[in-house]
Structure 1
Amino acid sequence: MKIAVDAMGGDYAPQAIVEGVMMAATEFPDLSFQLYGKESAIREYLTTEKNITIIHTDEKINSDDDPVRAIRRKKEASMVLGAQAVKNGEADALFSAGNTGALLTAGLLIVGRIKGIDRPGLMPTLPVLNSDKGFNLMDVGANADTKPENIHQYAILASYYAKYVRGIENPTVGLLNNGTEAGKGNDLTKKAYELLTNDKSIHFIGNVEARELLNGVADVVVTDGFTGNAVLKTIEGTGMSMMKLIKSAISDNGAKGKLGGLLLKDGLYAIKDKLDYSKHGGAALIGLKAPVVKTHGSTGKESVYYTIKQIREMLQTNVIGDLVDYFENQAK
């Protein structure tokens, strides 16, 4: 299994990317990696080349580049070359920590949509406080303007992923809304609710509220990309703010606070670990013909490792191939 890696994408590239790839290459000998980027910069951190190939390019897409313009004009950019390798069958999946909009554009324009999918969605796996299984949230920003039919497709796509990659036999699906009653929400959510209710191939449990997400209210939660992105960033921000508040409470209470903090050290690390959704991998752009996965721009080597582990599971289970077959048959 070959993974094309945009080695120049992200705040700490190429160091974090290269170090994370080496961690994965050591643990997963069935994977090989094609690192696209400036060879001299990559080699500065590369200590082993086992199952790792470097494809040199001086061009990269910056975080402030216009996504569509960058993909169309920067033909030799590391992200573009990686996407092209997937399209040509030279790699099985694409990984990047770079410009999110550019990666979405590369996925759509180069890798290509599954026939029958109107709009692919971006989907992370997020933590649940009372278990280790987490939940999938889709869409978290690929599409700001969403139709009811898109949300219906997100439920099918995410359910496939939850079942075959995460191993949940009959994943429950909730529609994110401002109340649990069937008649709640705006025109979009009301129409989406009807479509989800009428599709017996998914285990739809109705509307769910944002306050219940981290309590494991559903295995899959679907929404429009604007709302999903706001919820994702709220979860991220709340987790970081809570840890800052706890640290501040300890440091501001003198010796007594520090002693208490020392006694609670293991528990506090457990909380931090629980809220770290990067250990579930990156956000997968589901609805394309091959796995395209994005991790946070400020990612470290551990996050790169976990994202590669996620991609490996997607390739092993052939979840994308199954989705291609499903939707192409539906489209006939």
Structure 2
Amino acid sequence: MRLVLDAMGGDHAPDAVVDGGVLFARAYPGHELVLVGDATRVRPVLERAGAPPNIHLHHASEVVEMDDPATAAFRRKRDSSLRVGFELVRQGEASALVSAGNSGAVMAGGMLTLGRIPGVERPAIAALFPALKGEGRCLLLDAGANVDCRPSHLAQFAVLGEAYSRTRLGVKRPRVAVLSNGEEESKGTQLTRDACALLRRSDLEFVGYVEGKDLFSGDVEVVVTDGFTGNIVLKTSEGVGMGITGLLRSAIEKRGGLPEKLGALLLKPTLLGLRRVMDYAEYGGAPLLGLQGVGIVAHGRSSPRAIHNALVTTLQHVRAGVQEELTRCIANAAAWLPPHQRGRKADGDEGAD
């Protein structure tokens, strides 16, 4: 299999991205990796890292920067690493693209280059959260691709998320819910109430509303919301994870006596395991579900380990046949989903970094 990696995407590109690509290529010598980016900047990093023979460099002279207006930049910079990478996927020269760059541009580029699965109005970023019980994972979408959503968008997100959870994560019958400010039917907004009305007509295992805490409870496997709310939830959760780790370290170092420090030493393996569960780098990348092709969004601050894990996630995504199942499920859902509404196009600039 051949994967494309946007070598210029992310806060620490190209160094961290290229190093992560090299880690992946060494671990998976039976697969090829194409690094797309400015050869004058990427080649020295490759030479320093000692790149294996299954890595190839494809030159692209431009970069979509993190603060660029996403859709406009993608259209204007025709030789950007992101655009050239998506073109390789569209032309069948690669199976998927991974980028840690401007997530709005990744969404816009995917839609403009690959198009959407028939019946999907807007693709969604699907982010994984650790759960305390059940399958141990909860999928949240949209995690930042679409700020403004209609009820039909949330219903489509539910279909896409259920199919992904079942096909890629191995959940036999994923439970699906809408994120709200309470579990009672009277809570929520007009958007969430209308989305619930649609989902009650579906053949999904729909359980109604859940609150933010239920992302971690294990009581549901798929939670849908608009991209504005979803991205806030995602970034807040990341901050809480880092905050807990920092507060524990500070308490032990500054106020803990010898017993506390000995206890921390004994608990170190457990705390490291907890950190791995909460660390976004372990999950690598989030798939952009709904494209007619595979696009994976990695964290903008991705380290080499995070890039490596994003590529592993991408490889598993393609192997599992997720795309085929997404297409089949959306087609079947046409029986209860409302007809496609022609309105303002999803603007890639709405995507969150």
Range into which the TM-score falls when normalised by the shorter chain: over 0.9
Cα RMSD for the two superposed structures: 1.8
Please show how residues 65-144 of structure 1 align to structure 2 within 5 Å: 65-130=68-133, 133-144=136-147
Displacement after TM superposition at 1:281 (Å): 2.9
Tell me how far apart the structure 2 counterparts of residues 131 and 16 of structure 1 sit (CA, whole Å): 35
Alignment check: 8 A CA contact 2:160 2:330 kept: no
Alignment check: 8 A CA contact 1:4 1:95 kept: yes
Alignment check: 8 A CA contact 1:285 1:291 kept: yes
Alignment check: 8 A CA contact 2:130 2:137 kept: yes
* Residue in structure 1 matched with residue 60 of structure 2 by the alignment: 57
Tell me how far apart the structure 1 counterparts of residues 328 and 263 of structure 2 sit (CA, whole Å): 57
Displacement after TM superposition at 1:215 (Å): 1.8
Q: 1:330 to 1:178 in 2, by over 3 A?
A: closer
1:204 to 203, 206, 225: 206
Displacement after TM superposition at 1:84 (Å): 1.1
Tell me how far apart the structure 1 counterparts of residues 149 and 267 of structure 2 sit (CA, whole Å): 45
- Secondary structure of 1:90's match? coil
Q: Which moved more, 1:322-331 or 1:298-307?
A: 322-331
Q: 1:264 to 1:326 in 2, by over 3 A?
A: closer
Displacement after TM superposition at 1:253 (Å): 1.6
- Secondary structure of 1:55's match? strand
Alignment check: 8 A CA contact 1:137 1:221 kept: yes
- Secondary structure of 1:233's match? helix
Alignment check: 8 A CA contact 1:114 1:328 kept: no
2:226 to 224, 227, 244: 224
Tell me how far apart the structure 2 counterparts of residues 155 and 28 of structure 1 sit (CA, whole Å): 33
Question: Match of 1:134, as an amino acid?
Answer: R
Question: Match of 1:279, as an amino acid?
Answer: E
Please show how residues 206-285 of structure 1 align to structure 2 within 5 Å: 206-253=208-255, 255-256=257-258, 257-285=260-288
Displacement after TM superposition at 1:130 (Å): 4.3
Question: Match of 1:205, as an amino acid?
Answer: V
Question: Match of 2:100, as an amino acid?
Answer: A
Question: Match of 1:77, as an amino acid?
Answer: S
Tell me how far apart the structure 1 counterparts of residues 302 and 132 of structure 2 sit (CA, whole Å): 22
- Secondary structure of 1:293's match? strand
Tell me how far apart the structure 2 counterparts of residues 132 and 194 of structure 1 sit (CA, whole Å): 27
**What do the CA deviations read for 1:60-85 (whole angstroms, capped 9, x no partner)?**
11111111121011111111100111
**What do the CA deviations read for 1:215-261 (whole angstroms, capped 9, x no partner)?**
22211111111111111111011111111111110111254343343
Give the number of equivalent residue pairs: 331
**What do the CA deviations read for 1:161-217 (whole angstroms, capped 9, x no partner)?**
1111111111111111111123321111111111111101x1112211102211222
Which ranges in structure 2 are unaligned for 5 or more consecutive residues?
336-353
Q: Which moved more, 1:15-24 or 1:81-90?
A: 15-24
Q: 1:25 to 1:133 in 2, by over 3 A?
A: farther
